[in-house]
Amino acid sequence: MSERHFIVYERDNTWQYTYRGSIAAPFKSRQDAIDAAIAEARQANDTTIEVIVQDHDMQQETVWRHVEDGKAG
């Protein structure tokens, strides 16, 4: 089973996220981008989806997993 990821990151002083080649932007804050990515991930209804935040050093942190979310769907 492959995992799918929404990746939240900052570029050119604005927060955005990407999923399967599509970019959603701009967001005023990191949290706004995370919240939007989670909302979109819930809509996908795929139990392997995760939302990951990637910093400037390419370090990644998983901030949400569909399988752990009680609000899925």
Output the average pLDDT for the chain: 90
| Model confidence pLDDT, tens digit, residues 28-63 | 999 999 999 999 999 988 889 999 999 988 999 999
CA angle 17, 23, 29 (to 5 degrees): 35
The residue ranges of every structural domain in the chain are: 4-68
Higher pLDDT, 37 or 1: 37
Question: Can you tell me whether residue 20 is helix, strand or coil?
Answer: coil
Q: Cα-flanking dihedrals φ and ψ of residue 27, to 5°? A: -125, 140
Question: Can you tell me whether residue 67 is helix, strand or coil?
Answer: helix
What single-letter DSSP state applies at residue 59?
A: -
Question: What is the H or E stretch that residue 18 is in?
Answer: strand 14-19
